[in-house]
Structure 1
């Protein structure tokens, strides 16, 4: 689940693994940004799918709209804010839990820290592989040529009054100092 995503995303690979024919896709309205670094993504289409959380004795089922994308991802799907709203779900990222209200009691969905770690490692490896594709390498190389030499950079901020110079480590002989405002209140 991704509380920062404004879409529910399903990867075409997942759709195929579920045995759902792509002819069920409806045309999608517009491209979106933020999933593929530096590029817009055009979905293959939209699909409405039922999603169920809980157990047979206490469950919640809703139909969600997914944008189906044709590129590879590290997850099967991304459930975003539309899912949170529809299920009235409350995430707790610290404990890796998602809670949904039901008349028979709260439904709690969770995972292990080990699984999250494995997913993060896979995601980082995949992101690194994307960065080193041909067109991004060219863009990075062009950007590096335009960057000024960091040794030549100087700051233009200079305080005009009320500055006090203080040794960072009075017991050290390196003489490194920091400049602070002398007119600051004790608070």
Structure 2
């Protein structure tokens, strides 16, 4: 991991929404200094981080409390954070390609977790079924499995010089 277990303070703050459908109870909390800016103009605040034991494409997520501490004004469209500093406004720019790559990785990871959870549920449900219900029904022939229209239909030719081009319309419609 990248943290020292001795420096973690116990935490019972479960959180949700980082990976869709997955919750986590942190292994602990660490308070670390976070600095934005340059040597000439910077801002440092101490931020509480909850340390979790699950895979994600992000190394750290700064939530609303952290942004409020820095008095950040975020602009999500331009991936831009602006905050006050001793020598003027600090602008922190994000990287669109990195942001898209992280989001794609996070979606892929959550899909994998969801499939894994679903397969566990299916396996558990199958164990509880009586043997006579575990038989897979024989596949029906394709002609029997074709859906039948609820209303009466008729086939019309779209162009007289190309009779193979047709459309199916309701039987009560005119073929004008």
Give TM class, smaller chain: 0.5 to 0.7
Q: Does 1:117 align with 2:106?
A: no
- Structure holding more strand per residue: 2
Q: Return the offset for 1:89.
A: 0.4
Structure 2: unaligned runs, 5 residues or longer: 126-146, 148-167, 171-176
| Aligned Cα root-mean-square deviation (Å) | 2.3
Match of 1:51 among 21, 34, 46: 34
Match of 2:91 among 104, 108, 111: 108
Q: Equivalents in 1 of 2:65, 2:57: separation in Å?
A: 21
- Structure with max Cα Rg: 2
Q: Which is further off, 76-85 or 122-131?
A: 122-131
Count the aligned residue pairs. Answer: 128
C-alpha contact (below 8 Å) 2:33/2:44 kept by paired residues? yes
Q: Which residue of 1 aligns with 2:141?
A: none
Structure 1: unaligned runs, 5 residues or longer: 1-12, 143-150, 152-172, 176-187
Q: Which residue of 2 aligns with 1:128?
A: 111
Distance change in 2, residues 1:109/1:140 (3 Å)? farther
Deviations, residues 51-97 of structure 1 (Å, cap 9, x unaligned): 00000000000111111101111110111001111000010000000
